[in-house]
Amino acid sequence: MTEARASRSERAGNDSAEGPASDDRHPLFIPLVLVGGLLFGFGLGFSHMARPEVVLDFLQFEDLGLLFVMFGGSALVGVTYFLAPRLFDRAPLTGDAFERRLKSFDRNVLIGGAIFGVGWGLSGICPGAAYASLGVGNVTILWAIAGMFAGAYLQGYWRR
Amino acid sequence: MVIDPVALQAAADLFPNGISRYAVGGLLVGLGVTVIYLGTGISAGASTFLESTLSYVSGQSRFQRYVSSRDWRLVFTAGIVLGAAAFAVTFQSGVVSSPLYRPGTTGHLYEVGGVTLWTTGVQPWRLLVGGLFVGVGTRIGKGCTSGHGICGVGSASKTSIVGVLTFLVVAVVTAQLVAALGVSP
């Protein structure tokens, strides 16, 4: 599987990456997504990555612990991506093949990444951590969530 | 073997809160992604939720691409909020403790109905303007800290590794500049 192939399926609007439509889903599809979200959010709370101050401390080299969140998470997921297609034929709830998450490379990855970097460095928030921050009681994060939606809307307006 | 105490102290200075809460938290984040992937084959990222949710209120073609996934992305995000809330009523409130968990001293704690909640001291303008850049950047750049950082790096995707290095380096420079200008917190 090459990244070029991934980019072709993406251009063709590959639905499998998005999951099945709501009318032909396995009854456990939504409950499983909820369980995954719960673990994801609990982990962001536990690691304190849901606290913008902790992210800013990391970016200022005052506490590098956050490296272990990304390494720990991606290492486990890396093992999963490696083993799942070798141990199982297809995903039980969708019938989809186990594919890696590969996106085509172009200059947008650099431009968008740099814009995201400015936002992350200025505020200490990223999307998943912002939702989790709301869960730990951080109502002030609604400013960031409002900003993210406004930003996502603006890029959709410019790029349509 | 003798470990140089100066080198050991220098390493400890880089991790003033230890590493266990970070490592355990990261593994739980990865476990959430793993559960969804093993069941469905889907690589769940957090930032597509922004566009998929906008498809409920905007007819822009850019957002309509995500109509088929917008409901489960809503459930995934609700799960993230509720999972963090479960952390708040247990570890953050002190009801459950573990040697692997070290509480922090950032921001402000407050109580609602016996639950210890936390709020940030980072100024609202930083959150709003930063959020705006995050919203634009993650969507143009095809992913965020979870999509590129966890799923993409876990996939050994060159695109994602380049994406992560780009936003990490720019974020470090930005955060250092902002701090140097005296903005705190």
- Report the pLDDT averaged over residues B1-23: 86
Nearest to A18 among B49, B68, B130 (CB): B68
Chain A residues whose CB is inside 8 A of the B33 CB are 36, 40, 73, 77, 80
Q: Quick one: pLDDT at residue A159?
A: 85
Chain A residues whose CB is inside 8 A of the B98 CB are none
Can you spell out the DSSP letters for chain A? --HHHHHHHHHTT-SGGG---GGG--TTHHHHHHHHHHHHHHHHHHTTTTSHHHHHHHHTTS-TTHHHHHHHHHHHHHHHHHHHHHH-SB-TTT--B---------HHHHHHHHHHHHHHHHH---HHHHHHHHHTT-GGGHHHHHHHHHHHHHHHHHH-
Chain A residues whose CB is inside 8 A of the B135 CB are 119, 147-155
For residue A4, pLDDT beyond 70: no
Q: Quick one: pLDDT at residue A11?
A: 35
Per-residue pLDDT of B35-83, as tens digits, reads: 999 999 999 999 999 999 999 999 999 999 999 999 999 999 999 999 9
The whole-chain average pLDDT of chain B stands at 95
For residue A59, pLDDT beyond 60: yes
Nearest to B137 among A18, A62, A115 (CB): A115
Band the pLDDT of B2: cuts 50, 70, 90: low
| Across A130-134, B29-33, B62-66, B118-122, least confident range | B62-66
Give pTM, 2 decimals.
Answer: 0.93
Q: Quick one: pLDDT at residue A24?
A: 85
Q: Do B122 and A123 touch (CB under 8 A)?
A: yes
Per-residue pLDDT of A87-114, as tens digits, reads: 999 999 999 999 999 999 999 999 999 9
Cα angle vertex B42, ends B36, B43, to 5°? 90
Band the pLDDT of A15: cuts 50, 70, 90: very low
Band the pLDDT of B4: cuts 50, 70, 90: confident
